[in-house]
């Protein structure tokens, strides 16, 4: 299947990145995101914990908290195959959880639903110019995003954005924009 092949190729390319390159490119992506017109007005945002050389998000978190925004991170709900989001006030509130991805601990506060956010930031393995994304294949984000009514922004390295279409299935959810180290792509017909 083309989707599985693409997932494997892009995960391998990302895995091979040196941490210095991940840090350098992530810094550029985060600066572009922080200067965007979708970040500035947001008051409550969902963010992800970086995993396996995904674009880092610590600078976004620190800036958002410094501006008085509420920031929420996902935790995998075991057995239910879905994500629940909890408010985080310090990065030290995150600890390795499902799949070793840092997530809010059991004492995390203020679980909220998908309709509670003005901005949702998502990771991904690959994206296309129509806003389709390939994740890790478990469908956690797709299940969550189907009820999100706010702007959905993907953070990615430039090489993760394909000019060809990604094969999408009916349950696959699109993003509103993709921010890379060099550009911000707004998806026509999706979100604000």
Q: What pLDDT does residue 110 have? A: 61
Overall pTM surpassing 0.95 (yes/no): no
CATH H-level, domain 2-186: superfamily: NagB/RpiA/CoA transferase-like (3.40.50.10420)
Average pLDDT, the chain: 89
Question: For residue 104, what are the β-bridge partners?
Answer: 94
Residue 189's pLDDT band (cuts 50, 70, 90): low
Q: What pLDDT does residue 13 have? A: 95
Q: What is the pLDDT of residues 127-161, one digit of tens each?
A: 999 999 988 877 788 888 888 889 999 999 999 99
Query: Residue 81, SS3?
Result: coil
Sheet holding 133-134, edge to edge: 133-134, 126-128, 161-162
Show the tokens assigned to 13.
Answer: 């390319």
Q: What is the pLDDT of residues 89-142, one digit of tens each?
A: 989 888 888 778 888 877 666 677 788 899 999 999 999 999 999 888 777 888
């Amino acid at each position: 299947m083309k989707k599985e092949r693409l997932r494997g190729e892009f995960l391998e390319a990302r895995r091979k990145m040196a941490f210095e390159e991940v840090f350098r490119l992530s810094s550029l992506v985060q600066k572009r995101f922080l200067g965007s017109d979708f970040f500035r007005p947001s008051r409550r945002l969902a963010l992800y914990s970086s995993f396996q050389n995904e674009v880092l998000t610590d600078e976004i978190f620190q800036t958002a908290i410094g501006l008085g925004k509420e920031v929420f991170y996902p935790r995998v709900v075991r057995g239910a195959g879905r994500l629940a989001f909890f408010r985080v006030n310090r990065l030290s509130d995150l600890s390795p959880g499902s799949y070793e991805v840092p997530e809010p601990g059991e004492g995390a506060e203020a679980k909220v639903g998908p309709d509670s956010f003005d901005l949702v930031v998502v990771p991904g393995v690959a994206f296309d110019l129509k806003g389709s994304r390939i994740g890790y294949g478990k469908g956690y984000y797709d299940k969550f995003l189907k009820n999100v009514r706010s702007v959905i922004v993907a953070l990615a390295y430039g090489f993760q954005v394909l000019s060809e279409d990604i094969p999408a299935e009916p349950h696959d959810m699109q993003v509103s924009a993709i921010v890379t180290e060099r550009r911000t792509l707004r998806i026509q017909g999706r979100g604000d």
